[in-house]
């Protein structure tokens, strides 16, 4: 992508992403909050595409659209006020969190502006998606496998945690007596 087309996608995208990110925590409706997060992270995928990372951009769009749709269901399930019609206040330590977040966000942004970053223009023979395919079969194979195994472990852990009664099941009446009899016998 040329420099102009990158800028044409990046600037509106960045504005939409940041605005959606802010409104995630401002809207009273949980469904809307989940969908706004979907918008923020999907637009981030578009920014990846604009920044010449085709593989990551498409991956981000696919993963986040699925993940955030699932998230909306969880939001509706666990929220005391899923529709946002009761006008509940769902924030605490307002002043501390606002001032801390503004300080960190603006501080890091100022730091980014004043730092002298390396600047290279994208060469014409820059690696494309094809190079990523070779990379995954070469040096980065371990990283890729590691991500897969981590997903497997987390799936097992999440199922165990989410199971009714947890890892060791709920205590039932008579459990202690049975345990005593087992140790005696």
User: How far is it, in rounded angstroms, from Cα 33 to Cα 26?
Assistant: 8
B/e letters for 65-91, b = 16+ CB within 10 Å, e = fewer, are eeebeebbeebeeebeebebeeeeeee
Do 80 and 28 contact (CB within 8 A), yes or no?
A: no
Residues 55-114 that bind other proteins (CB under 8 A): 55-56, 59-60, 63, 67, 71, 74-75, 78-80, 90-94, 96-98, 100-102, 104-109, 111-113
Smallest distance from other proteins to CB 185, Å: 32
Nearer CB in complex with other proteins: 90/179: 90
**Which residues 18-37 are close enough to bind other proteins by CB under 8 A?**
18, 21-22, 24-25, 30, 33-34, 37
* Interface positions, 112-171, toward other proteins (CB under 8 A): 112-113, 115, 117-120, 122-123, 126-127, 131-132, 135-136, 139-140, 143-144, 146-147, 150-151, 154-155, 157-162, 164, 166
Which letter does DSSP use for residue 98 in this model? H
Is there a contact between 125 and 55 (Cβ–Cβ < 8 Å)? no
């Amino acid at each position: 992508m040329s420099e102009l087309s990158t800028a044409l996608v990046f600037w509106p995208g960045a504005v939409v992403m940041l605005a959606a990110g802010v409104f995630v925590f401002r809207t009273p409706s949980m469904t809307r909050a989940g969908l706004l997060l979907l918008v923020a992270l999907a637009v981030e995928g578009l920014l990846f595409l604009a920044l010449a990372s085709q593989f990551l951009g498409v991956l981000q769009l696919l993963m986040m659209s699925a993940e955030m749709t699932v998230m909306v269901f969880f939001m509706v399930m666990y929220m005391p006020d899923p529709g946002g019609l009761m006008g509940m206040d769902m924030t605490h330590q307002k002043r501390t969190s606002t001032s801390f977040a503004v300080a960190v966000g603006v501080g890091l942004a100022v730091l980014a502006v004043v730092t002298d970053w390396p600047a290279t223009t994208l060469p014409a023979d820059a690696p494309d998606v094809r190079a990523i395919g070779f990379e995954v079969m070469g040096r980065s194979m371990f990283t890729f496998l590691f991500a897969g195994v981590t997903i497997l472990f987390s799936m097992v852990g999440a199922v165990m945690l989410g199971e009714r009664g947890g890892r060791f099941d709920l205590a039932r009446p008579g459990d202690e007596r049975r345990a005593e009899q087992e140790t005696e016998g």
